[in-house]
Amino acid sequence: MENNIIKKVIKREINERGLIFPLVKGVTKREEKVLKMRETKTLQFIGDKFGVSRQRIRKIEEKAKAKLDYQDRIIDDLAEKIRKEILRLL
């Protein structure tokens, strides 16, 4: 429960302040567009829009998801460290 609250605060601060972790580059505009389009469009449609193959769109999507997963792991680790530090100080 405490960890979830800490994670939400960290994510809110990152979004509000436009912070980017120096170790992790965020998704590119292209990757962001592909992820959004994949919610409703086919690989073929997106590939035609970008002028690339379905396989290339799949790779772009995988790369973007991996970046987002890595960012989530960093946030989880940071939230755990903060929680432990708070408990230590109490």
With beta carbons less than 8 A apart as the criterion, state whether 21 and 67 touch.
Answer: no
Structure tokens at 22: 């120096």
Residue with tokens 């940071």: 78
With beta carbons less than 8 A apart as the criterion, state whether 68 and 31 touch.
Answer: no
Q: Is the pLDDT of residue 86 over 90?
A: no
Q: Is the pLDDT of residue 20 over 60?
A: no
- For residue 19, the one-letter residue type is L
Q: What is the pLDDT of residues 21-74, one digit of tens each?
A: 444 567 888 998 999 999 999 999 999 999 999 999 999 999 999 988 887 787
Q: Is the pLDDT of residue 9 over 60?
A: yes
CA distance 64 to 27: 6
Instruction: Considering only residues 12 and 22, tell me which one the structure prediction assigns the higher pLDDT.
Output: 12
**Among 58, 56, 70, residue whose Cα is nearest residue 21:** 70
| Residue 25: predicted pLDDT | 62
Delimit the domains of the chain by residue range. 2-89
Model confidence, pTM: 0.62
90 Cβ contact list (under 8 Å, min separation 6) = none
| Residue 15: predicted pLDDT | 66
